[in-house]
Structure formats: structure tokens, C-alpha cells
């Protein structure tokens, strides 16, 4: 199989990285390490790349039941994920462009962040292929058609049977991100990966995952039916010797009633959530408007001062009255000699306090303040408009959900009115002590549940029979690959752990499962290892699996949001050594790390040097918080230490 190898990432109008309207990142060979402070968007960058390739953002809430269900249910999450990371004014124009290769084919793919099943541009070149097409981002039909063409081409070039398989491998095998999902200890997800990695062609792997999903679902339904049969039997035992009330349950009516009630509950929750969002959006508008008004008041005050730089004392009402009528407005005396007062006024001296008055004059500082306020007013107006647009969007969404809620509520009310007699009889039946008919109903329920249990088990066994040949084939191909794959894993894991590990593929009732042993002790549960051991052994497994999957002349590429916070000082260097060993075997890493004193990055930089490692400093991408800005000298110090190791100095790493 072949997988996308990303060479270049171009981000346009991605609001989180607001220091630049356009960010262009060249990934190169070996290691691309994105370093920065907490909260600047390092993890987001990995999600952007996976989104560019697949149109999907992985969510920790979305579980793997089947590959097709995971893809379908994950599509809406991208809009939720990027809202907040992209401002309202940038929603339509923000986009990502990836340049990547798949074997002999070169791709350029451009996506908007709120159209996961659409492309804005597709360029593909290689043997027998020459595609170069751009569509308007408002033309959803053309964008969807271009995305379908992209899926067809990339399946052909990767050798996979379904686009969903690429999404799964990209999210659950090739990426270790902030979800901290552990492939080793998730038997369901690992089973999907094993079918794809070891020997089975992509079509068979897809069949195996679908059959296993159906067998698991039927097994669950059989357990539920057995529980219902047992519950009916227990109810019957409690009802023996009690009298009865005639009542026959209508399963269709019950199902309709339950469906309407469930829909109403779901929409009621959605209304509450969207109302909270609208409240927040309205508050944001009020805050923005208040801030804009305060700026306007200050601007008008300064502007007025420049128009009226100062008044002579003769313009004051009391002084004017004294000079014109010789009458004092303070004590009421008349016939006052005003000569002295007039002399003081003519000399620009206050006649009351004898203070010399200097006429106010324009100054550059006042004018510069007016210019600054003018720029702030423009930005403030733009901010107000953005918040108002967000409020309008959320209010519209709230209105739509409320309409849906009212419609379902009306449907439920009509249903209960139309079936009031049945519902009242059911209530009476449930409350009545005369329950002999309920005993018969329990017997019927028990018999029906038992019949369904047996049917579910029969159909489950049919799928298991289909799976058995594929499971045997997987065991055989794994046995052949074991001599190559297991040493890859052992060398990487030993570089980190410093202990001997073994790996065995066990055939269990629900399918094959990898089991790791450390110094002869099986570790079947994740809590049998420390946090750092779990994380980095799982990363070692991903490295070995990805390396095994690709052709010998092609590099494997992993995307790692480094869990360096789980490491103590003894293991930081060992983790860097493990990463370095993977890269010096001809593979690639796209990783994130914090700018701190961790030896992991220093060790890796010393091992790879500049020939195999590029470090991108992310503190220039976004606006630093007050805390981060105060610590910028410390960031500089950490970055310079990494640079020293890349240049062959410093204290991290050894020669490859």
C-alpha cells in the first residue's frame, strides 16, 4: 500500500493563526517538528493536515463500530471543531491546500473548512493521470463531484478498497494525537488495522470488518433477547396467583409512541444547547457594541476639544454681566468700577483668582490620539459586525430547531389524543391488581425473546463461519510476516523502555488480538503499564505497523502530538532515541512539542541534525497571551538549545 506523504501545507485566513493571513509550511524529509507554547494550535495543525487528506476531523466522542459508520457519523464534526478556531468573517474564505505524493502520483488538494465532502481545487499528475480543476467555493455540486473524483483516484493509487479505509488508517494508525487513543488496548480498532496490515487484500479486509461488525451486533442483540426472556420469566413468577385485566399490547403503537417521545427529548436538549449559544452570542454583541460606544464617546470628546481650544474669561456669564452692567453676579452689588476688571481680562488674567490664562493650542499628541482612536473604531466596527453575523447565524439555527421541536411536540400530542383510549387502558392495566393476562403476556414475551435469541445466534454463527477462513489467513500471513515485523517493533520499543518485549497474535472468540509481554509478563490491560509506557509502546507499534505496510523503497510517515508531559527525566532521552531510530531508518515524523527543557526534542535534534530535521517555531504564528509574552526569553532559550543540537552542538542526542 501507499499513503499520502505531505510536502507542503498552505493555510489561508485561518483565524487562530492570526499573525499571518497566509501560512506556508514546507515539511521536507525526516522530522518536521512544530514547537510552541500551550494553546497556540499545535494539535490543531495535525488535525488540519488529516482534514485536508480525508475531509474528517477525529473526535474522541466518535467510536469505531464499522468503517462506513465512523466516516458517515464523523462528517459533521469538522464544522464543530473549526468553529471558534475560525472567526465568523473568515468562515467562507478560510481554506487549506496540501501538496502530497502517493507513490508516483503528485496531488494538490484545496478544501474549505466547513465543506468536508467538497473540494475547491484538485491537481493530480503521474503516469496516465493529468487532472487540474478548480471550482467556485459556492458551487457545492461541482465541489462534491470533484471530491468524488479525488476519492476514486486516491483509492486507485493507495491500493485501498474504500475511502473509509484511508480515513481509518490515517486517524487510528498513522496519527497519535491529543485523543491519546491506544491502538494496542482497543481490540475492536486493532482488529480493523490487523486485517488491513497483514496480508489480506483491501477488499477482503473490508469484508472482514463488516462481517465482524455484524457478528458483534448480532451477539449483542442475542444477549439483549436473553435478558428480555429472563426478565419476562421473572415477572411471570411474581404475577402467579394474581387476577387479570384484559389488555393486548400493540407493539407498533408502542414503538411509534416511544419514537416520538425520544425525538422530542433529543430536540428539547438541542434547543437548550442552541439557546445557550445564542445567549453567549448576544452577550458578545452587547459587549462589542458597548466597547465601540466608549471609543466613539472618547473620539467625540477629543474632536470637540480641537474645535474649541479655549475661551477668554470675558465670555464667562458672571464676568460678561459685570462688564456690561457694572452689576456683580456674586454679591449683587451695582455701580461697580469695572476698569480694573476689564484690564485683567484684556491681559488674559482671571479676574477672580488672578491666574494667567494660556490659550489652548493644538498639539501633535492630541492629533495622534485621534488617529489611533479612528483606527480602533474601524476595527471595533468590524468586530461588532462579525459578532452580529455570528448572532444572526446562531439565532437562525435556534429558530429552525425550535420549529422542529414544536412540530414533533404537535405530532406527539395528536398521537396521544388519537390513541387516548389505548393509552388509558394501558395505564389501567399497569396499575391494576388484576394481572392474570399479564402472566400470559409474559409467557408470550419469554417465548418470543427466546426465539429471537436463537435467531440472532444462528445468524451470528453464519458470519463467524464466513470470518473463520479470513482469520486463518490472517494468522498465516502474520506468521510469515512475524520475522520482519516483530523485530521492527522490538527494536523501537526497547529503545524507549530498555526492556525485552514480545508480541503474539492470539485467536480469541471475537477475533485476532495482539498481546504484548514485557520481561515474560503479559500486559493485556492498559492499566498494567504506566502512562508513559502505554503511550510510547503504542507509538512504537504504530511505527512498526506503518513501516511494514509501505513498500521497502517508500518511507512511512507518522503524525504525533507528542505526549511529553507523561515522561520523567529518565525516559525523555529514551523517547527521543526511539523517534530518531524510526527516522534514521528512512521514515518521516510530523510531530508537535512544547518549547521547554525536555530532552526528547534535544535528543532527536542531536540524532537527526539539520539533514533530517526541521524545527518550526510556532510562537510567531499567533498572538501570545500575557503569560506567554512575559516568558518569551525562556522560549528563545529553549529554541536556541534545539538549534545548537541541530547544528551538532548542545547536549542532546548522539550521532546516528
Strands 105-112 and 95-102: antiparallel
Q: Are 115 and 137 in contact (CB under 8 A)?
A: yes
Q: What is the pLDDT of residue 150?
A: 97
Whole-prediction pTM: 0.66
Helix axes 632-646, 599-612, angle to 10 degrees: 50
pLDDT in tens, 91-128: 999 999 999 999 999 999 999 999 999 999 999 999 99
Work out the percent of the chain whose per-residue pLDDT is above 70. Answer: 90
pLDDT(510) > 50: yes
Paired residues of 26 in beta bridges: 8
pLDDT(652) > 80: no
Q: What is the pLDDT of residue 200?
A: 61
Distance between CA atoms of 247 and 508, rounded to whole angstroms? 47
- More confident site: 157 or 494: 157
Paired residues of 98 in beta bridges: 9, 109
Rg (CA), the chain: 36
Q: How many residues does the chain have?
A: 656
Paired residues of 99 in beta bridges: 8, 108
Q: Across the chain, what does the average pLDDT equal?
A: 84
Provide the pLDDT confidence category of residue 299 given band limits of 50, 70 and 90: confident
- What's the per-residue H, E or C state across 265-307? HHHHHHHHHHHHHHHHHHHHHHHHHHHHHHHHHHHHHHHHHHH
Which helix H or strand E contains 216, and what residues bound it? helix 202-239
pLDDT, mean of residues 127-153: 94
pLDDT, mean of residues 283-301: 86
pLDDT in tens, 351-384: 888 887 765 554 566 677 777 888 888 888 998 8
Q: What is the pLDDT of residue 476?
A: 81
Q: What is the pLDDT of residue 214?
A: 84
Provide the pLDDT confidence category of residue 193 given band limits of 50, 70 and 90: confident
pLDDT(238) > 50: yes
- Residue 451 CA: distances (Å) to CA of 201, 316, 454: 38, 103, 5
Provide the pLDDT confidence category of residue 306 given band limits of 50, 70 and 90: low
Q: Is 1 helix (H, G, I), strand (E, B) or coil?
A: coil
pLDDT in tens, 397-456: 999 999 999 999 999 899 888 888 887 777 766 655 455 677 778 888 889 999 999 999
pLDDT, mean of residues 594-606: 79
pLDDT in tens, 31-74: 999 988 777 888 999 999 999 999 999 988 777 767 888 898 89
Q: Helix, strand, coil % (nearest 5) of the chain?
A: 60, 15, 25
Which residue, among 162, 158, 92, has the nearest Cα to 124 in the 3D structure? 158
Distance between CA atoms of 526 and 533, rounded to whole angstroms? 9
Amino acid at each position: 500500500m501507499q499513503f499520502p506523504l505531505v510536502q507542503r501545507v498552505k493555510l489561508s485566513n485561518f483565524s487562530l493563526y492570526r499573525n499571518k493571513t497566509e501560512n506556508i509550511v514546507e515539511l521536507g524529509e525526516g522530522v518536521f517538528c512544530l514547537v510552541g507554547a500551550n494553546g497556540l494550535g499545535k494539535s490543531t495543525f495535525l488535525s488540519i493536515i488529516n482534514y485536508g487528506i480525508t475531509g474528517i476531523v477525529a473526535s474522541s466522542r466518535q467510536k469505531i463500530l464499522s468503517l462506513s459508520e465512523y466516516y458517515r457519523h464523523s462528517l459533521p464534526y469538522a464544522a464543530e471543531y473549526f468553529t471558534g478556531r475560525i472567526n465568523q468573517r473568515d468562515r467562507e474564505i478560510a481554506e487549506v491546500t496540501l501538496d502530497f505524493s502517493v507513490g508516483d502520483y503528485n496531488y494538490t488538494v484545496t478544501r474549505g473548512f466547513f465543506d468536508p465532502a467538497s473540494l475547491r481545487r484538485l491537481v493530480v499528475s503521474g503516469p496516465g493521470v493529468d487532472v487540474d480543476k478548480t471550482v467556485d467555493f459556492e458551487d457545492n455540486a461541482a465541489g462534491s463531484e470533484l471530491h468524488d473524483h479525488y476519492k476514486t483516484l486516491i483509492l486507485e493509487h493507495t491500493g485501498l478498497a474504500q475511502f473509509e479505509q484511508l480515513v481509518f488508517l490515517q486517524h487510528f494508525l498513522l496519527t497519535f494525537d491529543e485523543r491519546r487513543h491506544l491502538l494496542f488496548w482497543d481490540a475492536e480498532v486493532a482488529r480493523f488495522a490487523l486485517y488491513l496490515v497483514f496480508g489480506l487484500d483491501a477488499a477482503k479486509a473490508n469484508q472482514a470488518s463488516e462481517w465482524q461488525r455484524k457478528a458483534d451486533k448480532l451477539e449483542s442483540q442475542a444477549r439483549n433477547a436473553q435478558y428480555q426472556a429472563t426478565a419476562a420469566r421473572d415477572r411471570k413468577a411474581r404475577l402467579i396467583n394474581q387476577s387479570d385485566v384484559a389488555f393486548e399490547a400493540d407493539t407498533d403503537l408502542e414503538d411509534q409512541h416511544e419514537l416520538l417521545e425520544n425525538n422530542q427529548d433529543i430536540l428539547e436538549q438541542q434547543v437548550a444547547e442552541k439557546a445557550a449559544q445564542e445567549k453567549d452570542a448576544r452577550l458578545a454583541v452587547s459587549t462589542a457594541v458597548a466597547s465601540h460606544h466608549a471609543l466613539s464617546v472618547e473620539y467625540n470628546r477629543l474632536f470637540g476639544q480641537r474645535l474649541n481650544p479655549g475661551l477668554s474669561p470675558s465670555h464667562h456669564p458672571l464676568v460678561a454681566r459685570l462688564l456690561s452692567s457694572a452689576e456683580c453676579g456674586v454679591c449683587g452689588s451695582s455701580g461697580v468700577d469695572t476698569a480694573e476688571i476689564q484690564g485683567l481680562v484684556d491681559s488674559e488674567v482671571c479676574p477672580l483668582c488672578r491666574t494667567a490664562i494660556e490659550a489652548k493650542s493644538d498639539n501633535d499628541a492630541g492629533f495622534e490620539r485621534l488617529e489611533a482612536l479612528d483606527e480602533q473604531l474601524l476595527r471595533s466596527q468590524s468586530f461588532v459586525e462579525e459578532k452580529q453575523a455570528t448572532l444572526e447565524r446562531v439565532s437562525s439555527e435556534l429558530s429552525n430547531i425550535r420549529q422542529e421541536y414544536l412540530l414533533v411536540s404537535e405530532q406527539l400530542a395528536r398521537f396521544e389524543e388519537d390513541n387516548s383510549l389505548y393509552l388509558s387502558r394501558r395505564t389501567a392495566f399497569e396499575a391494576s391488581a388484576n394481572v392474570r393476562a399479564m402472566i400470559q403476556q409474559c409467557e408470550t414475551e419469554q417465548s418470543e425473546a427466546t426465539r429471537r435469541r436463537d435467531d440472532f445466534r444462528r445468524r451470528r454463527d453464519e458470519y463467524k463461519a464466513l470470518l473463520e477462513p479470513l482469520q486463518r489467513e490472517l494468522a498465516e500471513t502474520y506468521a510469515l510476516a512475524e520475522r520482519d515485523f516483530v523485530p521492527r517493533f522490538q527494536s523501537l520499543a526497547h529503545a524507549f523502555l530498555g526492556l525485552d518485549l514480545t508480541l503474539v497474535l492470539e485467536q480469541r472468540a471475537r477475533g485476532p488480538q495482539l498481546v504484548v509481554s514485557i520481561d515474560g509478563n503479559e500486559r493485556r490491560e492498559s492499566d498494567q503499564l504506566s502512562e508513559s509506557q502505554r503511550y510510547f509502546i503504542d507509538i512504537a507499534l504504530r511505527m512498526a505497523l506503518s513501516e511494514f505496510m509501505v513498500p521497502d523503497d517508500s518511507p512511512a510517515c507518522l503524525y504525533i502530538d507528542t505526549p511529553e508531559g507523561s515522561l520523567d527525566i529518565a525516559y525523555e532521552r529514551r523517547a527521543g532515541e526511539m523517534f530518531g531510530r524510526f527516522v534514521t531508518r528512512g521514515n518521516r515524523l510530523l510531530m508537535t512539542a512544547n518549547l521547554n527543557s525536555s530532552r526528547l526534542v534535544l535528543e532527536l535534534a542531536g540524532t537527526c541534525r539539520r539533514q533530517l530535521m526541521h524545527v518550526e517555531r510556532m510562537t510567531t504564528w499567533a498572538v501570545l497571551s500575557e503569560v506567554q509574552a512575559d516568558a518569551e526569553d525562556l522560549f528563545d532559550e529553549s529554541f536556541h538549545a534545539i538549534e545548537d543540537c541541530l547544528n551538532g552542538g548542545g547536549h542532546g542526542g548522539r550521532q546516528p
